């Protein structure tokens, strides 16, 4: 009896240990890490030396024909997780019902987190934080607008302050779907794209040395919308070991923010949300699982 109980105890430990960090392998990558910047026309962004440098590296690929959905910010962010703008046409606070990408991910036990710079945590639902600043902005956090996340404490706890990322890298627990939103200075919203790319370089380069951040990871670098200068044509680039680019490092297929969802869905066979994700072209042309 004693041994029997001990055996059960042990198997529970093994079971919990095995499931917490189980990786669900994807067709092209095992992790996708999105980082999103703000309000820059394509023609301006492609002049940034750091973006040119990244795209020209052996595993960089510029998606030269990628478009945002509309203006202003919030509908674009919503598009990336919901598959439509949900009728939103401004930056106000909304509670949106219906399935989103988190439902599809969780159904396949794929881990996820949304890292928000300067987010106070604890399922904060206010418009801005910390008090007296506009560093964290709800309009750049689509997850908190999703009712089936904001009303579920365990899901809401997966929206975390950016400081959690270093903890997750150090413990090798970066989730398989990671969505990173810099604050309104570092994303260029209040500062411009030169500032944002200087920040990005100093933030990204040291992390690229760490396999807990890079292993089988597709980095997806995008902007929410243009600066009203070019029909919402925005810079978007892919980076990381799953990318096997052609010599010119360009994929000029027509893509938009819904392509992000269709790529994630196709990678893990998630099905779809039945919205604009269904017909969006996935950016898998130059991806290959290593």
Ligand X SMILES: *[C@@H]1O[C@H](CO)[C@@H](O)[C@H](O)[C@H]1NC(C)=O
Q: Which of 11, 89, 95, 288 binds ligand X (CB under 6 A)?
A: 95
Nearest-approach distance from CB 88 to ligand X, in angstroms = 11
Q: Within positions 150 to 209, which residues make up the interface with ligand X, using CB under 6 A?
A: 150
Q: Among the candidate windows 20-28, 31-39, 93-101, 166-174, which touches ligand X by CB under 6 A?
A: 93-101
Catalytic residue among 91, 103, 152, 190: 190
How far apart, in whole angstroms, are the C-alpha atoms of residue 174 and residue 213? 7
Q: Which of 249, 266, 273, 286 binds ligand X (CB under 6 A)?
A: 249
Nearest-approach distance from CB 84 to ligand X, in angstroms = 18
How far apart, in whole angstroms, are the C-alpha atoms of residue 112 and residue 105? 8
Q: Which of 24, 134, 208, 250 binds ligand X (CB under 6 A)?
A: 250
Nearest-approach distance from CB 62 to ligand X, in angstroms = 4
79, 124 Cβ separation under 8 angstroms: no
For residue 4, count other CB atoms closer than 10 A to its CB: 8
Between 119 and 268, name the residue whose CB sits nearer to ligand X: 119
Nearest-approach distance from CB 19 to ligand X, in angstroms = 30
Between 49 and 206, name the residue whose CB sits nearer to ligand X: 49
Over the chain, what HEC string results?
A: CHHHHHHHHHHHHHHHHHHHCCCCCCCCCCEEEEEEECCCCHHHHCCCHHHHHHHHCCCEEEECCEECCCCCHHHHHHHHHHCCCCCCCCCCCCCECCCCHHHHHHHCCCCEEEEECCCCCCCCCCCEECCCCCCEEHHHCHHHHEHHHHCCHHHHCCEEECCHHHHHHHCCCCCCEEEEECCCCCCCCCCCHHHHHHHHHHHHHHHCCCHHHHCCEEEEEEECCCCCCCCCECCCEEECCCECCCCCCEECCCEEHHHHHHHHHHHHCCCCCCCCCCCCCCCCCCECCC
Between 113 and 138, name the residue whose CB sits nearer to ligand X: 138
> Taking CB under 6 A as the rule, does residue 111 contact ligand X?
no
How far apart, in whole angstroms, are the C-alpha atoms of residue 240 and residue 45? 20
Q: Among the candidate windows 81-89, 113-121, 190-198, 246-254, which touches ligand X by CB under 6 A?
A: 246-254
Q: Among the candidate windows 20-28, 126-134, 195-203, 248-256, which touches ligand X by CB under 6 A?
A: 248-256
187 part of the active site:
no
Q: Within positions 10 to 69, which residues make up the interface with ligand X, using CB under 6 A?
A: 52, 55-56, 62, 64-65
Between 156 and 270, name the residue whose CB sits nearer to ligand X: 156
Count of residues engaged in binding ligand X, rule: CB under 6 A: 14
* Binding residues for ligand X (CB under 6 A): 52, 55-56, 62, 64-65, 93-95, 125, 150, 249-250, 252
Point out the residues that are catalytic. 190
């Amino acid at each position: 009896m004693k041994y029997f109980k001990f055996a059960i105890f042990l198997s529970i430990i093994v079971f919990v240990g095995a499931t917490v960090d189980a990786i669900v392998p994807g067709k092209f990558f095992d992790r996708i890490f999105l980082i999103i910047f703000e309000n820059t026309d394509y023609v301006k962004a492609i002049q940034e030396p750091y973006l040119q440098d990244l795209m020209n590296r052996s595993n960089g690929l510029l998606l030269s024909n990628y478009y945002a959905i509309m203006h202003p910010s919030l509908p674009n962010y919503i598009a990336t997780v919901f598959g439509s703008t949900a009728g939103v046409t401004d930056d106000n606070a909304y509670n949106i019902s219906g399935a989103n990408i988190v439902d599809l991910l969780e159904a396949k036990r794929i881990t996820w987190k949304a890292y928000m710079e300067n987010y106070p945590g604890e399922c904060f639902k206010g418009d801005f934080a910390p008090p007296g600043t506009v560093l964290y902005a709800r309009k750049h956090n689509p997850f908190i607008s999703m009712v089936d996340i904001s009303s579920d404490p365990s899901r809401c706890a997966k929206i975390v302050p950016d400081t959690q990322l270093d903890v997750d890298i150090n413990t090798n627990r970066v989730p398989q779907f990671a969505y990173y939103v810099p604050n309104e200075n570092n994303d260029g919203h209040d500062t411009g794209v030169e500032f944002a790319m200087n920040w990005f370089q100093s933030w990204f380069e040291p992390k690229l040395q760490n396999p807990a951040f890079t292993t089988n990871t597709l980095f997806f670098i995008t902007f929410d919308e243009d600066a009203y200068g070019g029909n919402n044509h925005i810079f978007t680039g892919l980076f990381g070991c799953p990318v096997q680019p052609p010599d010119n490092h360009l994929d000029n297929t027509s893509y938009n923010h819904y392509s992000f969802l269709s790529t994630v869905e196709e990678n893990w066979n998630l099905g779809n949300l039945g919205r604009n994700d269904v017909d969006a072209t996935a950016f898998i042309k130059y991806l290959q699982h290593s």
